[in-house]
Amino acid sequence: MRYLTGRAASSREIARLLQRKGVDRSETAEVLRRLEEIGYIDDRRFATEWASVRCDRRGSATLGREGLRSGLIRRGIEPDLAAEVADNLMTEEQEIRAAIELVARRGASYAHLDAETRQRRLWSYLARRGFRASVIAKALRLDDRDMVET
């Protein structure tokens, strides 16, 4: 129970913890069923809260939709639910805006590099954060235009 008071967790995270503590599978299943029944565990609520922290509505997301989805899956959320939550929290337009913001922030530290190296590093940076190739391409195209204008 103490684990649940520290932070929200998915049912799979709690199951892993119980198994590490030596609780057998049948007891783990019963504990999880009971915790879900009384509302202490709700994977949909957990997934939404976890993703919301990383994707606020102002566009200052630190992850792309794929990054949100894979992060949720790593935390034990079913792939379909993870994809649904990521898609509901972040539209493609919001994802592009977030990528542009990250390019602007990170791009300043790459200003001393030649254009090709700068683009390659920014692409890798965004890809590691779960932004899709089409989103990265749009953000970098807009960044190229800004670099030419300045």
pLDDT digits (tens, 9 = 90+) for 127-142: 999 999 999 999 999 8
Interhelix angle 115-128/92-107, rounded to 10 degrees, is: 130
Q: How far apart are CA 37 and CA 108, in angstroms?
A: 50
Q: How far apart are CA 9 and CA 82, in angstroms?
A: 14
CB 63 within 8 A of CB 53: no
User: Does 57 score more than 60 pLDDT?
Assistant: no
CB 34 within 8 A of CB 18: no
So what's the pLDDT on residue 147? 54
pLDDT digits (tens, 9 = 90+) for 66-90: 999 999 999 999 999 999 999 999 8
Classify domain 92-149 at the CATH topology level.
Answer: Arc Repressor Mutant, subunit A (1.10.10)
Mean pLDDT of 1-10: 66
φ/ψ bin of 22: left (φ > 0), alpha (ψ from -120 to 50), beta (otherwise) = left
Torsion over CA: 130, 134, 137, 138 (sign): negative
Among 54, 48, 83, which residue's Cα sits nearest to residue 69? 83
User: What is the phi/psi pair of residue 7, to 5°?
Assistant: -160, 160
User: Does 125 score more than 80 pLDDT?
Assistant: yes
CB 41 within 8 A of CB 35: yes
**5: pLDDT confidence band, cut at 50, 70 and 90?**
low
User: Does 59 score more than 50 pLDDT?
Assistant: no
pLDDT digits (tens, 9 = 90+) for 11-53: 999 999 899 989 999 999 999 999 899 888 899 999 999 998 8
